[in-house]
Amino acid sequence: MKLYVGNLSFETTENDLQDMFEQHGKVSDVALMMDRTTGRSRGFAFVTMNDSTEANAALTAFNGKEVQGRTLTVNEARPREERPQAAGSRW
């Protein structure tokens, strides 16, 4: 189960998230989204846990919890939506 973790402090690292979510079970992947231009965190990440029971326990434990001065938003990640290509764009 892939979880969306939002409203993260810009100082939060992938290791911080791994340690935090492993309190509730095995974490198979952590992807902290980074800004390509600045190299800073964009303030959200995706945490994948193979066991849905453990993932739901982590979701319940961390959604609304304050971490590093920020109140986290944690929910089941939705599939990425395809965005229409901008008019006139050749890329």
Of residues 54 and 81, more confidence is placed in 54
Q: Is pLDDT of 79 > 90?
A: no
The string of DSSP codes covering 6-60 is: ES--TT--HHHHHHHHTTSS-EEEEEEEE-TTT--EEEEEEEEES-HHHHHHHHH
What are the chain's domains? Answer: 2-76 (3.30.70.330)
Q: What is the pLDDT of residue 14?
A: 96
Average pLDDT over residues 27-51: 96
pTM: 0.86
Q: Give the torsion sign (CA, 81, 9, 63, 27).
A: positive
